[in-house]
Amino acid sequence: MADRRLLPPDDPADPATPCLIHDSGECDVTSDPDAFCPLRAPRPPHAYGVTRARLHRGHFAYLRAVVQGLSPRAAWERYLPDAGAFEDTPHVHRMSAWIRTELSAAAARGGDFGQARLLRLDLAPLPDDLPSLEAFIDREALDDLAEAEQLAAYQAAFDSELARQRRRATLLRRQLGAIYALEARVAVPVALQDGVEAWFTDAIAQRLQAAGLPTLYALRARMASRQRWWGAIPGIGPIKAGALAQFMAAHFEAAQFADAPAWPVTARQAPSDTLDGSLSAGGVSALMPMERLIVPDDLTGRQGRFRAPPGQCLLDADDDRAAILAWLAARGRPRGRRRPPPSVASVVPAADLPAPDLPAPPGARLTCTQLAYRKEAERFLLWAVGERRRALSSMTVEDCLAYRDFLLAPPAAWCGPRAQPRWKASWRPFAGPLSLRSCAFAVGVLGNLFAFLVDQGYLIGNPWRAVVPPAEGPRGPDPGRGLTASQWQGVLAALARLPDTLSSRRLQFALPFLHDTGLRLAELLAATTADLSWEALPQPGRPPLEGWWLTVRGKGDRIRQVPVSPDSMARLSAYLLARGLPADPGASPAVPLIGANPSPARARGAAAGDPTRHVAASSFHRHIRTFFARCAQGLRVSDPASAARLGRATTHWLRHTHVWHALDAGVPVEIVQQNVGHVSLDTTTRYVKTERVRRLQAMQQLWQTTSRAASAAGVDQASSRASP
């Protein structure tokens, strides 16, 4: 029996898939029983029954074109020539519905049900019933009004329709982003080394294989060898041969066939010596993120040279990539009631996991530490497989030494623009050569990874213990990464001049709070009113010393308490009132100290005024950087040096500034250490400038004495030469 999914949509042997609601008369989509109903289970509407129902990049390009209002006929002819001739609107609907259903199912399999719902929305452009602004002005006789008043009147007259269009535009941008993201994960590029069974129906593939054509390359060679290439293949006549030729022409240019290798296996099964070619077919880089990398079986680490006996391993991981994921998951620390521990699913989306037996429970977003660790492990895995042709679990000391040197001078092919999304083809593991400090950090992270794998019984040894990080000079806090007292006063003055808005209140509280407490940005964003407490500390012979304290969970889950000034508490109370909360922090437990501002898109939503919403770290960091940039703009003429420094300022500069200002004010170094959470007193001592000031003063006195003596000696010599 023929596969119903692969028959042409107008085939009489293929009745439409029934829609129970439609057939019962309760479907209000259309009254035509033969018209397209979106509630029907869509089928792939290819015009010839030779190809499997499998998404390729042409389907994604077609859907993007249709939802953006381009001509369906032009998009069909350009991106889906192998789907047959363009017919009519129902045919377009069936194709679009099938693609949407496949994408929605892929998103749901990855656990992103919001994305799945988004992809089911039909956001094709609707007829525009709104008059132009000029026509509205003529109709309402608004020629005498100012342009701003005309725009206000137009928006007031068509507020609901304009809001609907804005919402559609927002959803369309999100939907296009989801399509691009899924294309990188789901779309399978057609490659010449693919077996014919990967793209054609079982019946067609079996006939081609029986004729000695196991791959697309072999099929293309047969097509090029003779005009009636199908004549000796039973069961394939001119119609099916034409469909096969149309498929090949749609996915390959003629120039691609000249020197293409005839690999009879898929990329996942390819031997290591064809790794680069199999991954780079069609212009796709072999340098892919860890979750998308296709590793040959002999390089996965299942038979790694230094693997410990499986019976001694405490991990479920059976290959190197799974071991890395387990290490990353273990580096996620529990964050109490606000931050559940991260899981493997948060390290790599479930749809991207290469092995079906990897655990993928829903988890939290990766921490900054996990992101930094993943980057270093991912780079090393790519280098081990792509450059050394060895599994990560087969790395020797010599390999690790070579990688350390590689970090200082990676080839240009390994480098690309910064901040590229992981699904983009322009993503690369490096932005350029690493500094000595960054290289030392990478060596330390990889040593941590291998130490973890040894401790868990996955490996028998850690080659990174024999690798010395690259030497660098003495390191201390950079005095250029902080603000002077006068620059900080300028920042406070700029804060006072901000308009009275919720965003301004947030900055007016947050920046002085970061300066006064020395908190890291992540620590401030995680803090809530429940972490504040009023304490009375007994003093022998005197009244108790009272004040506010903030309990902070810092790096490594170390808990510390930081005193909070009365001025900071007053600013917090004003900020809480602006958010619609009681001024007393104790009256609103577990409310974030820094809340998310309601965006215009949420202005009418139920969550618009929710004061318990945390602000995203990236969003708040951009907000502060924008404020510093505006401060710098106002100083470019009067104080260019301060303007340049403020233009580079980040939130972490306020932490450096706190330490320097506290030490300059005479606060003991051990108290500053406890407040900022430095593990070692040596770290805080690096900020102390007293000893360096004394040294410089002593040397300047010596230089002045030497200079005066030299000057006096020069005068005496000149006088003696001038005397007769």
Task: Identify the pLDDT of residue 90.
Answer: 61
Asked whether residue 477 is assigned to any structural domain, the reply reads no
Q: 3-state SS of the chain: helix, strand, coil percent to 5? A: 55, 5, 40
For 235: left if phi > 0, alpha if psi spans -120 to 50, otherwise beta; the answer is left
Same domain, 231 and 342: no
* CA–CA gap between residue 657 and residue 489 (Å, rounded): 12
Greater confidence (629 vs 363) lies with 629
Q: Which of 364-373, 454-463, 530-539 is predicted least confidently?
A: 364-373
List the single range of 203-212, 257-266, 306-315, 454-463 with lowest mean pLDDT: 257-266
What average pLDDT is seen over the chain?
74
According to the model, what pLDDT value does residue 461 have? Answer: 95
Predicted pLDDT at 313: 93
Q: Which domain holds residue 115?
A: 4-125+165-186
Assigned domain for 500 exists: yes
Query: By mean pLDDT, which of 192-201, 323-332, 489-498 is the weakest?
Result: 192-201
Share above pLDDT 70 across residues of the chain, in percent, rounded to a whole number: 73
Higher pLDDT, 672 or 478: 672
For residue 37, is pLDDT > 60? no
Does residue 664 lie in a domain region?
yes
Q: Which residue has the higher pLDDT, 159 or 238?
A: 238
Q: Which residue has the higher pLDDT, 129 or 105?
A: 105
Q: Are residues 416 and 363 in the same domain?
A: yes
| pLDDT at residue 516 tops 50 | yes
Is 474 domain-assigned? no
* Residue 314: band (very low, low, confident or very high) from pLDDT cuts 50, 70, 90: very high
**Out of 209-213, 297-301, 462-466, 691-695, least confident range:** 691-695
Half-sphere exposure of 213 (CA within 13 A, CB side): 25
Q: Does residue 414 belong to any structural domain of this protein?
A: yes
pLDDT of residue 567: 92
- Looking at residue 475, its pLDDT comes to 55
Residues 283 and 231 reside in one and the same domain: no
Decide if pLDDT at 89 tops 60: no
Q: How far is CA 422 from the centre of its chain?
A: 7
Q: pTM of the entire structure?
A: 0.48
Q: Are residues 455 and 310 in the same domain?
A: yes
* 500, 645 contact by CB (below 8 A): no
pLDDT value at residue 54: 65
Q: Look at the alpha carbons of 284, 445, 404, 456 in this order and tell me if their dihedral is positive or negative.
A: negative
248 located within any domain: yes
Q: What percent of the chain has pLDDT over 90?
A: 17
Instruction: Judge if 279 and 412 occupy the same domain.
Output: yes
Number of domains in the chain: 6
Q: Is the pLDDT of residue 88 over 70?
A: no
Residue 284: pLDDT band (50, 70, 90) is very low
459 and 512 both lie in a single domain: no
Q: Inform me whether the pLDDT recorded for 120 exceeds 50.
A: yes
Q: pLDDT value at position 405?
A: 92
Tell me how far apart the alpha carbons of residues 253 and 424 are, in angstroms, rounded to a whole number.
23
* pLDDT at residue 480, as a whole number: 58
Quick check: 484 pLDDT over 80?
Answer: yes
Query: 447 and 536 share a domain?
Result: no
- The stretch 86-94 carries a mean pLDDT of 63
Is residue 151 located within the same domain as residue 70?
no
The answer as to whether 337 is a domain residue is yes
Whether residues 407 and 311 share a domain: the answer is yes
pLDDT number for residue 395? 95
Cα gap 478→686, rounded to integer Å: 10
Specify whether 441 is located in the same domain as 568: no
Write out the DSSP string of 170-220: HHHHHHHHHHHHHHHHH-----TTSBGGGTB-HHHHHHHHHTT--BHHHHH
d(CA 480, CA 424): 35
Average pLDDT over residues 428-450: 93
Whether 173 and 143 map to the same domain: the answer is no
Which residues, other chains included, contact 556 with Cβ-Cβ below 8 Å and sequence gap of 6+?
333, 679
What digits encode the pLDDT tens for the residues 41-71?
334 444 446 766 667 777 778 878 877 777 7
pLDDT at site 231 = 86
Residues 426 and 497 in one domain: no
Residue 279 lies in a domain: yes
pLDDT tens-digit map of 634-673: 888 888 888 888 888 888 888 888 888 888 888 888 888 8
For residue 424, pLDDT beyond 60: yes
Q: Quick one: CA dihedral 290, 292, 298, 301, positive or negative?
A: positive
Of 162-166, 173-177, 235-239, 446-450, least confident by mean pLDDT is 162-166
How big is the chain, counted in residues?
724
Q: Sign (positive/negative) of CA torsion 435, 441, 444, 448?
A: negative
- Cβ–Cβ < 8 Å for 305, 323: no
Q: Residue 653, SS3?
A: helix
Instruction: Give the model's confidence band at 393: pLDDT under 50 very low, under 70 low, under 90 confident, else very high.
Output: very high
- 520 Cβ neighbours under 8 A, 6+ residues apart: 554, 555, 652, 655
The CA-based dihedral angle spanning residues 19, 24, 25, 31, taken in that order and rounded to the nearest 10 degrees? 30
Tokens at 578, concatenated = 């602006």
pLDDT(391) > 90 = yes
Residue 298 is predicted with a pLDDT of 87
Last residue of a domain, one of 224, 252, 280: 252
